[in-house]
Structures are given as C-alpha cells and as structure tokens.
Structure 1
Amino acid sequence: MSTIANIFKNKSKKPVISFEIFPPKRDELLKNIDATLAVLADMHPDFISVTFGAGGSVTNSATVEIASKIKKLGIESVAHLTCLNYSKAEILTMIRNLEANGIENILALRGDRNPNVPPKHDFAHACDLIKFVRENSSLSISAACYPEGHPEAESRVSDIRHLKEKVDAGATHLISQLFFDNDIFYRFQENVKIAGIDLPVDAGIMPVVNKAQIERMITLCGASLPVKFQKILTRYENDKVALFDAGMAYAVNQIIDLIASGVDGIHIYTMNNPRIADKLTSAIKNLF
C-alpha cells in the first residue's frame, strides 16, 4: 500500500513536495483537467491531493475521478473526504467507492458549515470521521492542522488538544492550513511536539496571485498577514503582473526558509494553475 506516511519515511532528509487541486465546478472544465494533471505530473511531486467536490454527491465522482487519473500517471493521490453533512451509511458508501477506484489515501475533514444545508449528526468533528474510517477500511488517513488555530477553536491550546484527538483516532500525517508568517508555523511545530504528536507535517503554502483571492482565503481560514506582506498587496494591488511576481517571490522565500529549517514537507495550493506549481518547484529544485 502506497501510504503518505511511507512516502515521508522513504524521503530521507529531503522534504516531501506535494500539490493540491480542486475539481472544476463545470463538467466542460473537468474535461480539461487531464492537461493540468499532465503538467503537474511532469514536476514529479510526491503526491497530489484533490479537494472534496462540490454538490454533495455520495459518490463524489469528480474527486474520485481526478484522484484515479493522478494514480494512473504514477503519482500518489489523496482524496479529501468531508463528513459534517453525511450519515455513517453515506460515508461508508464513499469509502467503498474510493477503494473500488484504487484510492488508498484520504484527507479526513469535518467540512465547512453551510447555512443552506443542515448538518447531520453522525459526525460532529473530523476525529469522528477518522475513527470511523479506521474502523471500516484500510485507507491511510491524513488530517488537517491549523498553525494559527482553527477559526472556531476556543484557543490555540484547545485546538492542539483536538489535533491530538485526530492523531489518537488514527491520522498518520498532517497538512497545514495556509500561512504567511513562518514564525507562526515554527511555534506551532513546537506546540505539536509538546503535545506528544510525532507525525510528519506538511507546511501549506498558497502564493498570492490576486488581491481578491487572498482576501477570500483570509476570510475563510483566518490567516494573518505580516506587515511586509500587506505592503506587497498595497503596492501592487492594481498591477496584476507585478502582484503575481511579488506574490510568487514571497512564497519562494517562505519555502526556502522552511526547507532550511528542516520542514517535513511543502504542500502547494496550486489553485489548478500549473504555472504556479512550475515556478515554485523550479525555484527550489536546486535545494535538494
């Protein structure tokens, strides 16, 4: 079985490099995903994760289809799986569908609350999903972590406590939410170790390519912006080309610092833009 945990074990001192993509919302765009995947595969990432497809389908066909395509390209895939709006029976159907399509790794998530979709009551937290998947399959389970704390957490201490619950339930690898201040991530790493969590942790990096995008992400995940980052947004917000270049340079500097500090892995949120992945991997390829 090609588990993500084993990928980390076999990388020696080199950091794991991975990408995240999402299923396009329109079917006609989904047909074009092959070209995107081919470009990403040429960069030889250690794995590619696929977010949970919109629409609420129990088969979650778009995510499964893309994750299967990735595996056929010789790259390991991780399918996101959310639980807040599903029953145990529905989640079990999803698990069997993943297994039937050769998917071996998942990222177990609670999922965002949707005011238009009442949650079901079988899974209140991601740790409930992780325990259920562990009891009902041999899938390898990754979990999300939040360097600045989950937006709904009472405190960072309670957030670390909940993260430990995910690990105790069966998670074997962690992927962090995006962040723009490496010092925040390093403090998070220290707190994780103090809590007795000894798992590989991917640092989530999202390059800024436009101001609207970053404002939307900050609203969703609550990431803070360092002063030097705010200066970039202020200076280049009306110049798309300059903002793209400056944002990419900022992300490259983040990654170089993380690698120099011995981070386990870098998880790049590509936003389905191969150009972003290409520029970042090209900039750091000589560091290995």
Structure 2
Amino acid sequence: MFIKDTFLKNETTLSFEIFPPKNNEILFNIIGELNKFNPGFISVTYGAGGSSKDRTVEIASIIKNKYSIEALAHLTCITSTKEEIEEVVENLKENKIENILALRGDIPEDFTIGKEHLYRHAKDLIHKLKIDTNLCIGAAAYPEGHNECKDLDMNVKYLKEKVDAGADFLITQLFFDNNNFFQFKEKIYKYNIKTPIAVGIMPAVNKTLIEKIQKLSGVIIPDKVENFMNKYENKEDDLRKAGIEYASYQIEELIKNKVEGVHFYTMNKPDIIKSILDNISFK
C-alpha cells in the first residue's frame, strides 16, 4: 500500500520512526509494542552518523512482511553513486517495500563529492525515483528552516521543487512550537503546496539529546521547554513526566488544527510513546 493513500482517510495518520537497534530481539520488541497503536506506517532511519545503512532494508522488510505494517525506508543520495542507488531500490522492490523517504543526507567531514555522485539534492533523487519506479516517495520539510538555510521563504521554494519533482507526501523536522508550524503551513499554501504533511514530534525527555539535535538541526526550543529541561535535568522521572505532558499538549493542539499526520521520532522508546498516546485521542 502506498503511504500517500493513508492520508485520504478522514482521520489523523499516526506513524513512527525507529533506528536499527543492536539486535533483532530488541527490534521485535519495539515493533511489537508500536504495532499495538495501529500505525499507518513505520519509517526506518540509519544508525548514528549514517551507520547501519545496510540494515535499513532488512528492518523495513521485517516491518512490512512479518508484521504487515507499511514500511518507509530512508534513502539518502549525496554520498551514493547511481549504481548504488539502483541497487538499494532493487533490493527494496524484492522485499515488497513500496515507500521511500528520499533525502539528501549529511556530508561526512572527510568525504569528497565526485562526478560519480549524480544526486546532489533530494529533489534529484525524487526526480529519478519518480521516472524510474512506481514507488511512493516521501520528502522532508523544515518548518523552522534547514540548518544550512534559515531563510524560510527559500526553504519553501526548495520544498516546492521537491513536490514538483514528484514527492507524494511530506514529513517535517521535529519542532516544539506549534505556531512555527502553523505559519509554515500558511507559507506553503501560498506556493500551492497541498501535499499531505505528517508533523514530526520528539518528546523532550532527554536534555542532552535535545540539545544535541538543536545543535545539528537548529530546532527552536521554546522557553517553556528549556525551563522544564533545566529544572529537571538531574531528575529523570520528573523530566520524563514533563516531556510527555508537553508532547501530549502539542499533539492535541495539532490534531484540533486538522494536521494530516503525526510522526513520532521514537528514539526506540515505545513506552514513552504509549504514555503520550494514553493522554490523547486520535481522530
């Protein structure tokens, strides 16, 4: 099933992102727990620093073929040759994976981009996939700007190029201020972008992790979130409770404003996701 079709329902699509865990026992436990929430799909990213690339197809196949959940495989292009991309795509097809999240990916510090690296931007990869395959293609959106480009109008222009190249749906970078997303949504409508969007949510239950992500992505941390992370920095249970409460509030407001999808960056912590979903009603 194409993920774009899940957004046709008159309800908010629920989805999750996981990364390759250490072993399959942990993997099966994570997927089994997330499956209880009847997700529209589960996406599979790489491990830290782009590691575990080879396991992405394997895990997507388990999600799709063992658990009958739609799987979304991440595919980055900036460090890959045309042949490498085609090999991965063929492997995905062999495993009945019909959905790809097409991303540029980060450029490693010691990596040199050569002539053999044809796809310099996500739009290039999307264009190739749209022409050469019948896959459903997702793309990333940045409500608060990309770390390499904070000009929001330019970000929307680049997003329009990805949509025009063939992106079927969008997933946003995580954010903590809903107003920033609402303003972003107004901007993209002006560019006639009406592609379904799943909003990216990560509960602020780990101060060190959130600060690391802020440094890498430039995500804006509102004072309210900054305050409770500082207050409970050394009180794990209290920070967890505050982070779950804030994420629950954030999602409830987004659902009231008719977002098409909510996409949890789970960090492989299904227990935290359960605590949030126990607080809200998906409709």
TM-score by length of 1: 0.93
Are the structure 2 counterparts of residues 103 and 54 from structure 1 closer, same or farther at C-alpha, using a change threshold of 3 Å? farther
CA–CA separation in structure 2 for the residues paired with 1:232 and 1:128: 41
Q: Which residue of 1 aligns with 2:244?
A: 248
Structure 2 gaps, min length 5: none
Match of 2:77 in 1: 83
8 Å CA contact 1:151, 1:222 repeated in 2: yes
Q: Are 1:52 and 1:79, in contact at CA under 8 Å, matched by a contact in 2?
A: no
1:279, CA displacement in angstroms? Answer: 1.3
1:15 has 2:5 as partner? no
Whole-angstrom CA distance in 2 between matches of 1:277 and 1:70: 18
Determine the C-alpha separation between the residues in 2 that align with 1:176 and 1:91: 23
How big is each residue's C-alpha offset from its partner over 1:64-95, in whole Å with a ceiling of 9 and x where there is no partner?
11111111212111000000100111101111
Partner SS state of residue 280, structure 2 = helix
Contact kept, 8 Å, 1:143 with 1:175, in 2: the verdict is yes
Q: Give distance in 1, aligned partners of 2:255 and 2:68.
A: 25
Query: CA deviation digits over 1:165-224, x for unaligned, max 9?
Result: 000100010000000000000000001111110111111000012110111111111011
Does 2:70 match 1:70? no
Q: Aligned runs of 1:212-251 on 2, under 5 Å?
A: 212-251=208-247
Give the conservation status (yes or no) of the 8 Å contact 1:23–1:30.
no
Structure 1 match to 2:43: 49
Deviation for aligned residue 1:54: 6.2
Match of 1:17, SS? strand
Match of 1:209 in 2: 205
- In the TM superposition, residue 234 of structure 1 has moved relative to its aligned partner by 1.6
| TM-fit CA distance, 1:119 | 3.2
Q: Is the 8 A contact 2:204 2:225 kept in 1?
A: no
Query: Does the 8 A contact of 2:6 with 2:40 survive in 1?
Result: yes
Secondary structure, aligned partner of 2:17: strand
Indicate the SS of the match to 2:279: helix
1:61 aligned partner: 54
- 1:32 matched to which residue of 2? 26
Once residues 107 and 50 of structure 2 are traced to their aligned partners in structure 1, the CA distance between those partners, rounded to angstroms, is: 13
Q: Distance in 2 between the 1:102 and 1:205 partners?
A: 28
Q: Which amino acid aligns with 2:3?
A: I
Which of 100, 104, 109 is 1:106 aligned to? 100
Question: Within 5 Å, which residues of 2 pair with 1:102-181?
Answer: 102-120=96-114, 121-153=117-149, 155-181=151-177
For structure 1, which runs of at least 5 residues remain unmatched after alignment?
Answer: none
Work out the percentage of aligned pairs sharing the same amino acid.
45
- SS at the partner of 1:32? helix
Q: Which amino acid aligns with 2:103?
A: L
Does the Cα contact within 8 Å between 1:77 and 1:105 map onto a contact in 2? yes
Normalising by structure 2, we get a TM-score of 0.95
Q: CA separation in 2, counterparts of 1:220 and 1:247? A: 20
RMSD (Å), alpha carbons: 1.6
Counterparts of 1:89 and 1:44, CA distance in 2 = 36
> Shift of the alpha carbon at 1:56?
6.9
- How many residues are aligned here? 280
CA distance in 1, matches of 2:183, 2:107: 28
- Structure 1 segments, 4+ long, off by >2 Å, are 29-32, 52-57, 116-121
